[in-house]
Amino acid sequence: MEEYYNYIKSLHLIFVITWFAGLFYIVRLFVYHAEAKDKPSPEKEILIKQYQLMSYRLWYIITWPSAILASVFAFWMLFFTTLGNAWLQMPWMHVKLGFVFLLYGYHLKCHQIFLQLQRNEIRHTSAFFRIWNEGATLILFAVVFLVILKDALNWIYGVIGIFVFSILLMLGYKLYKRIRERNQS
């Protein structure tokens, strides 16, 4: 089993990347879907139908399979290899697994929103979705810094950095919104 460890790890990383790509893009489609409701007919109906189709394909052909396969390979590494068993003893891995559970919570909330939009129930604004889109970004930053640094003191600085980064993202979004509103006037 140990001779296949790097292959398993590579597959895990590939599916983590495609999972995040799916999460980033699905929320972007949510933004477009929410904005399409304000378009005049027949443009509105055409766009919404197209966004529903694109979302459906992305969600069920890329995002869900990637989430499942990333998890399968992660469990394989953690529970069926010697190195994985050692990692489970390390505090940084417990924190990482906490972020993975948070990522699954984010994914499941996206699934709930996806189902609402498939039924044409638009409960959130495009502004909400633009902010919501940063959730996956924050989790990605946290996990990457945690996995690379692993040192207890460094990951604490990393978590503080993530909070600072999220504040900067919110400020950037507010600036973007003002510029966009000014250009539309």
Cβ distance 114 to 34 under 8 Å?
no
CA distance 163 to 185: 33
Instruction: Check the annotation: does 96 bind a ligand.
Output: yes
Q: How far is CA 129 from CA 2, 37, 61, 157, 158, in A?
A: 43, 14, 22, 28, 25
Main-chain phi, psi angles of 121, to 5 degrees: -100, 105
Tell the residue number behind the tokens 């055409």, with chain if given.
46
Q: What is the dihedral of CA 30, 32, 37, 40, to 10 degrees?
A: -170
DSSP 135-172: HHHHHHHHHHHHHHH--HHHHHHHHHHHHHHHHHHHHH
Binding residues: 12, 96
Binding residues for heme: 12, 96
